[in-house]
Structure 1
């Protein structure tokens, strides 16, 4: 048996471990299939320290492979199914993946990418096999379901979205590492789940893509913790509500864009939702407009908890609904197992309340590295163990953390530093704004850049919007609440705001598509 599943199989072999589009998978069946996956990988010569890439959507088999890798010392590399051929090839080449697992929706791009790398030795297709790939189900049928010996912990390697440069492979010791005792997986899962308040006998749900670290961790660790995992292949707001009630989901992770989509549902759909089973609804990955969060708390209740973290270091801080209401704008207090320092450009710690670059240290000594890039790893560290992901913020006198934004995203306008996140937070509070994004664009009457704004107005009952009125109101609203340099000089009324699958605003796309077009207003 897979070691961390032993207790769950022994206590409740016919209990529900996974639920996906195909139906229910019991703990016993999950354990047997994970065992077979380990034997398949070993038969391909895969051992501790090797890399296995998984480019498949949210489905049962993805977690079977994840668990098999985590129990055989293998580094599992989730690959985004939104990448083009070049992007997939980069990850396969950079990670050194020897095996690639694909599915019907990714096989075409994946096989083209494989032709550009020389590390991949085998491709396993979860669905119908093609000429160059082996059928995963056929391979599983050829091996026993008996417990593999010599189990040892593996770990994930995530590739960042690349919004601040080329995608980077991140190995985090805090999320498990190849070569550790396999029992460490259960201990880490229990610590993470207990730390965020997940009940041991609860049910988790994943809505976002599993190739993001937060989604992966907050779905996989609850499974190791003994929770049932409900897997959504693609976000469907109405279906999410139905499944929460139907499956009695206790905890899940949502992005701010998920909140916006849920709030946009018709009243009849929202009114039919109970949500009584919910205990923790985590959100993070991108700043959430205050009014959106306020409305979600009013609807879901005080179960909405904000997290601040990063692929490099895991969770940094948590803010309950009550804390957020009491201390507006905070992402919470830094977690007890972390040290946080706020430093200036010279690397000196600043006084409480002053803004600077945020650095963190895991008190356990766990560290991270950028795979194959010692220079980038060194640049992220102020001293051994003390690292930054490039965010700027401050701590108040009560220890609450505030994050202004990514240092690389700060704009210099008229000699002043402007945080796009701050502009968005202020203007999203306007009643006529459904969604908003700030970005840099050419100044209309001089050299350099100024703040441009993309805004989606709230529509009336007929679906119409009054763009001119919204723009005029926003200009006055902004001038009353923001420093002069942060007031938008150009406002573009749009239908959509581009975001990554992690919910992060793609500001470079906004500049490319909007900055040179005719303006809605000046």
Structure 2
């Protein structure tokens, strides 16, 4: 069984599970239950996984919030989501204090030293009069009920064209749960490369984004070891790979670009031979950048394409990409991908159209609080 690692801190997954079960009991004591929602205003830290896991036990939705938000943006999300509780790092309170909804419990996580160092801030304790996360957990027995199959993560997305919309999936059938797990486990490389409990990964991106969120939580739930990098730093990542013998990574192209800009002696300084599966997504990767990464790290670079609403729909490995530079791969067995014109007709090969996709075996979704936007 694996662990969560952050800086010099280590939390075994068995201990994390017990803390999450205590948090579930605590949420019940606040009147929070199946179908409700909590907001996570946190950087990558142990309580992020604990609170997400606690929510899943109860069928509660967890919503990670972009902690770069202005007070107006944060207030909108708290109100739109109907959050029944907010879990927040101590140093993030003051910038959005005016946005905290009256009467909603605020559970405060003291800012740990490695996060404070990464962002050049002074470690902050829990402010007087607010609930301290660790103290609060200690007051409850672990939840002993049957785990729910409902709930999940509500990710707010598409904010570039207006207010962001929360993607909330309908309660899944057991078959849909199985399909969802199968797609992500395969897409993230947690199957086909030995025992999932032997996976060692670094969560390189902020977990308020949908892909790092799903990736980090699935790594932990599969029993692997997840190192939570407070803030992406290219040389630090190479150090972590060598020190912890990292096997899996999830990245975005800008990280490749920053890695390739390192001096040659730094790039060659670290042993990266433990890497088995490095997947990237979220943005187009310039072919020269990807080719250089494959030449440096070997044919371990994978890619997928998808969206928060539909999940992973296509994928390709290094060999497929080298044979067709620029491709994002072929549809996975569970997905349907079409390119259509304005009338919804498939366009001939080589012509421009709109990409539409769906995952046939993953439960449908709505936009939280506004199902009409799902139909617009």
Could you state the TM-score of these two structures normalised by the residue count of structure 1?
0.65
Give 1:151's match in structure 2, choosing from 143, 147, 152: 147
- Post-superposition shift, 1:185? 6.0
Secondary structure of 1:124's aligned partner = strand
Q: Once the two structures are superposed, what CA deviation does each residue of 1:186-214 show, in whole Å capped at 9, x if it has no partner?
A: 77435421344323121122011000001
- Post-superposition shift, 1:22? 4.3
Give 1:29's match in structure 2, choosing from 1, 5, 15: 15
Residue in structure 2 matched with residue 299 of structure 1 by the alignment: 296
Residue in structure 2 matched with residue 319 of structure 1 by the alignment: 316
Using the alignment, how far apart are the partners of 2:32 and 2:167 within structure 1?
Answer: 21
Q: Once the two structures are superposed, what CA deviation does each residue of 1:118-141 show, in whole Å capped at 9, x if it has no partner?
A: 5x6200001232245211111111
Secondary structure of 1:86's aligned partner = helix
Within 5 Å, give how 1:183-202 maps onto structure 2: 188-198=180-190, 199=193, 200=196, 201-202=198-199
Secondary structure of 1:139's aligned partner = helix
Tell whether the 8 Å contact from 1:123 to 1:132 is kept in structure 2 after alignment. Answer: no
Using the alignment, how far apart are the partners of 1:69 and 1:185 within structure 2?
Answer: 16
The structure that has the greater radius of gyration is 1
Residue in structure 1 matched with residue 83 of structure 2 by the alignment: 97
Give 2:206's match in structure 1, choosing from 209, 213, 230: 209
Using the alignment, how far apart are the partners of 1:238 and 1:206 within structure 2?
Answer: 15
Tell whether the 8 Å contact from 1:170 to 1:311 is kept in structure 2 after alignment. Answer: yes
Give 2:108's match in structure 1, choosing from 106, 121, 125: 125
Secondary structure of 2:154's aligned partner = strand
Tell whether the 8 Å contact from 1:190 to 1:225 is kept in structure 2 after alignment. Answer: no
Secondary structure of 1:302's aligned partner = coil
- Post-superposition shift, 1:18? 0.8
Tell whether the 8 Å contact from 2:155 to 2:209 is kept in structure 1 after alignment. Answer: yes
Give 2:97's match in structure 1, choosing from 111, 126, 143: 111
Secondary structure of 1:220's aligned partner = helix
Secondary structure of 1:91's aligned partner = helix
- Post-superposition shift, 1:314? 1.0
Residue in structure 1 matched with residue 225 of structure 2 by the alignment: 228
Using the alignment, how far apart are the partners of 2:8 and 2:182 within structure 1?
Answer: 28
Residue in structure 1 matched with residue 372 of structure 2 by the alignment: 375
Of structures 1 and 2, the one scoring higher in RCO (CA 8 A, sep 6+) is 2
Q: 1:75 to 1:376 in 2, by over 3 A?
A: same
Q: Once the two structures are superposed, what CA deviation does each residue of 1:325-355 show, in whole Å capped at 9, x if it has no partner?
A: 1112211001110111221111122223322
Q: 1:156 to 1:170 in 2, by over 3 A?
A: same
Secondary structure of 1:296's aligned partner = helix
- Post-superposition shift, 1:359? 1.5
Residue in structure 1 matched with residue 120 of structure 2 by the alignment: none
Q: 1:186 to 1:25 in 2, by over 3 A?
A: farther
Within 5 Å, give how 1:25-174 maps onto structure 2: 25-114=11-100, 117=101, 121-127=104-110, 128-131=125-128, 133-145=130-142, 147-153=143-149, 154-160=151-157, 162-172=159-169
Task: Name structure 1 gaps, 5 residues minimum.
Answer: 1-14, 380-522
Residue in structure 2 matched with residue 408 of structure 1 by the alignment: none
Secondary structure of 1:71's aligned partner = helix
Tell whether the 8 Å contact from 1:218 to 1:252 is kept in structure 2 after alignment. Answer: no
Secondary structure of 2:270's aligned partner = coil
Runs of at least 4 residues of structure 1 off by over 3 A? 183-191
Residue in structure 1 matched with residue 5 of structure 2 by the alignment: 19
Tell whether the 8 Å contact from 1:203 to 1:247 is kept in structure 2 after alignment. Answer: yes
Q: 1:67 to 1:185 in 2, by over 3 A?
A: farther
Using the alignment, how far apart are the partners of 1:196 and 1:180 within structure 2?
Answer: 23
Task: Name structure 2 gaps, 5 residues minimum.
Answer: 111-124
Q: CA RMSD in A?
A: 2.0
